[in-house]
Chains A and B, each alone.
Chain A
Amino acid sequence: MEEDEFFGEKTFQHYCAEFIKHSQKIGDGWEWRASKDCSDGYMCKTHFQVKNGTAVSHQGTSDHVQTFLPVEEALDAPLDDFEVTETTAAAEVIKYEYHVLYSCSYQVPVLYFRASFLDGRPLALKDIWEGVHECYKTRLLQGPWDTITQQEHPILGHPFFVLHPCKTSEFMTPVLKNSQKINRNVNYITSWLSIVGPAVGLNLPLSYATAASHDEGNVSGQDSSTERKSLEEH
């Protein structure tokens, strides 16, 4: 379709391709998936996270043992600390999938995600909210239905959680304006993902910022204060 807007689908795909190039360099796991009819596609990444971040400890103190340990395993588990920790680890590992799609209605990228335990049980929305960092909670609690909602993935058709795109251009405009002012090149996807990702457990290594400036052959001092500032303002 036509691209009379600043951020059309082709632009989106270009920035994703640049982003993925860097991801491949540092082994960050992002890849491009084309839709079956190849008319479009999305960027995706899967990562595993341990709930509470402590289950792989070898200390095996009772603090780390979760109450949802399966009954049979609880009865059979020997008193050996290491084995208790192993079983705990399986119960607490969560698989996160992140998909970055393009919204032609809002002409911005949109973050879709879902989480499940290793046995396939999906995490509910309230569990996802519990995993949201403190600094985002106030805003999300004010209007939860406006920000993270469960929706149908427009290409795969399955339920995913989505960060609503209608405010995206609002917070991205200052980032882009500022980068123009200081004459620094910005990968829209990198900047956008570094702002919205942390709200749902997705963090970007800082080297993405370096890569973005180098893309157009522009060498500049590295600081992500531009992105952080916009984050605080919004």
Chain B
Amino acid sequence: MTDDKDVLRDVWFGRIPTCFTLYQDEITEREAEPYYLLLPRVSYLTLVTDKVKKHFQKVMRQEDISEIWFEYEGTPLKWHYPIGLLFDLLASSSALPWNITVHFKSFPEKDLLHCPSKDVIEAHFMSCVKEADALKHKSQVINEMQKKDHKQLWMGLQNDRFDQFWAINRKLMEYPAEENGFRYIPFRIYQTTTERPFIQKLFRPVSTDGQLHTLGDLLKEVCPSAVAPEEMWFTWVMPKSDVLMIYLSYC
């Protein structure tokens, strides 16, 4: 995995230049200037937008403020999806910066999960990590870790600390020497064209006759109706099956 360190760093440090504008119907005491920010692809909106919130709340009265939520061209943004995923799904074909509208009223209950505190984001993130390990190692690695290791994983993400994060995550990326990979590969395929939020199925890294599966094999198996794999566009395209696992296993 050491020769993939560059790839891991590129994935971790990916950024999206974003312009936050207050929704025009929000009540302000004076004009609200847009706020610019470089968003980390691997993080979550509600985790990295404290400055955005403070900036707009400065021109609003307390009584006009309730739970913050974000929207892009009329679509409420699911904070529980990684930022990079949201951008790639909804805005990748538009010019930068990514223009996001900020709301403080009329929270869309039917579309978005509530995010009352950072604890909720942590619980969601850890829940994803645990589910991925259930697939990779039958939860053995994550369950053997101490609470402080779980905390370090979360703090690494929250504070943008690559080394701190990967000190723990590398254990979740290991598999026994005699095996050819994880038990199942944790993956989710998101498409804007379906009602279903994502496709997730059991998929082994190795076929019954010992061949390593590739990304193309995965797509053929779980998403056959999609455009031919060669024509699909991925954020991080990796043809090798072992690198495939690293990307897909990141959750």
Q: How far is the CB of B107 from chain A (nearest CB, A)?
A: 10
A148: shortest Cβ distance to chain B, in Å?
11
Interface residues of B in 37-88 (CB under 8 A from A): 78, 80
Query: Who on chain B is nearest to A126 by CB?
Result: B116
Q: Judging by beta carbons under 8 Å apart, are A149 and B123 in contact?
A: yes
A139-173: which have CB < 8 Å to B?
145-146, 149-159, 164, 166
Q: Please, which residue of chain B has its CB at the minimum distance from the CB of A4?
A: B202
Query: Chain A interface: which of B27-35, B128-136, B172-180, B226-234?
Result: B128-136
Decide: B109 and A122 in contact? CB cutoff 8 A.
yes
Interface size range of chain B in the complex: 20 to 34
Residue pair B196, A157 in contact (C-beta under 8 Å) = yes
A124-B123 Cα distance, complex, nearest whole Å: 18
Task: Indicate if the CB atoms of B201 and A152 lie closer than 8 Å.
Answer: no
Determine how close the nearest CB of chain B comes to the CB of A177; give it in whole angstroms. 19
Kindly list chain B residues whose C-beta atoms are within 8 Å of the C-beta of A154.
196-198, 200
Q: A152-B78, A157-B196, A158-B111 are in contact. Are A145 and B120 (CB under 8 A)?
A: yes
Interface check A2, CB cutoff 8 A: yes
- How many residues in A have their beta carbons less than 8 Å from beta carbons of B? 26
A145-B123 contact given A36-B195, A106-B131, A166-B134, CB 8 Å threshold: yes
Which residues of B are found within 8 Å of A36, using beta-carbon distances? 194-196
Task: Tell me the dominant secondary structure on chain B's binding face.
Answer: loop
Interface residues of A in 180-231 (CB under 8 A from B): none
Q: Is A35 an interface residue (CB 8 A)?
A: yes
> B-facing mask of A109-133, CB < 8 A → 1, else 0?
0000000000000101100000000
Q: Which of A146, A151, A159, A164 contacts B109 (CB 8 A)?
A: A159
Q: How far is the CA of A125 from the CA of B109 in the complex (A)?
A: 12
- CA separation between A164 and B124, bound complex, in Å? 11
Chain A residues, CB < 8 A from B139: 166
Complex Cα spacing A155 to B194, Å: 10
CA distance A145 to B123 in the complex (A): 6
Render B127-160 as a binary contact track against A, CB cut-off 8 A, 1 for contact. Answer: 1001100110001000000000000000000000
- Confirm or deny: B161 has a beta carbon within 8 angstroms of a beta carbon on chain A: no
A125: B residues at CB distance < 8 A: 114
Q: Does B112 contact A (CB under 8 A)?
A: yes
**Does any Cβ of A come within 8 Å of B203's Cβ?**
yes
Q: Could you tell me the distance between the alpha carbons of A16 and B40 in the complex, rounded to whole angstroms?
A: 43
Q: With A1-B202, A152-B113 given, is the CB distance from A157 to B195 under 8 Å? A: yes
Query: Is A72 among interface residues, defined by CB-CB distance under 8 A?
Result: no
Which chain A residues border B198 with CB–CB below 8 Å?
A: 154
Q: Please give, as numbers and ranges, the residues of chain B lying within 8 Å of A74 by CB-CB distance.
A: none
B3 at the interface (CB under 8 A from A): no
Query: Closest CB-CB distance, B123 to chain A, in whole Å?
Result: 4
Quick one: which of B180-212 are within 8 Å of A by CB?
186, 194-198, 200-204
Nearest neighbor of A164 in chain B, beta-carbon distance: B127
Kindly provide the distance from the CB of B91 to the nearest chain A CB, expressed in whole angstroms. Answer: 19
Interface residue ranges of B94-132 to A (CB < 8 Å): 109-114, 119-120, 123-124, 127, 130-131
Do A145 and B197 form a contact, CB below 8 Å, given A105-B131, A159-B110, A159-B111? Answer: no
Q: Which residue of A105, A145, A150, A164 is within 8 Å of B135 (Cβ)? A: A105
What are the residues of chain B within 8 A of A80 when measuring CB–CB? none
Q: Does A26 contact B (CB under 8 A)?
A: no
- Residues in A whose Cβ lies below 8 Å from that of B196: 35-37, 154-155, 157
Q: How far is the CA of A1 from the CA of B111 in the complex (A)?
A: 30
- Binary CB contact string for chain A from 20 to 48 against chain B (1 if under 8 A, 0 otherwise): 00000000000000011100000000000
Q: 21 A-B contacts, Cβ less than 8 Å apart? A: A1-B201, A37-B196, A105-B134, A124-B114, A145-B119, A145-B120, A149-B124, A149-B127, A150-B114, A152-B78, A152-B80, A152-B113, A152-B197, A153-B197, A154-B197, A154-B200, A158-B110, A159-B109, A166-B130, A166-B134, A166-B139
State the 10 A-B residue pairs at the shortest beta-carbon distance, nearest first: A145-B123, A1-B202, A157-B197, A105-B131, A105-B134, A150-B113, A122-B109, A159-B113, A104-B202, A105-B135
Interface residues of A (CB under 8 A from B): 1-2, 35-37, 104-106, 122, 124-125, 145-146, 149-159, 164, 166
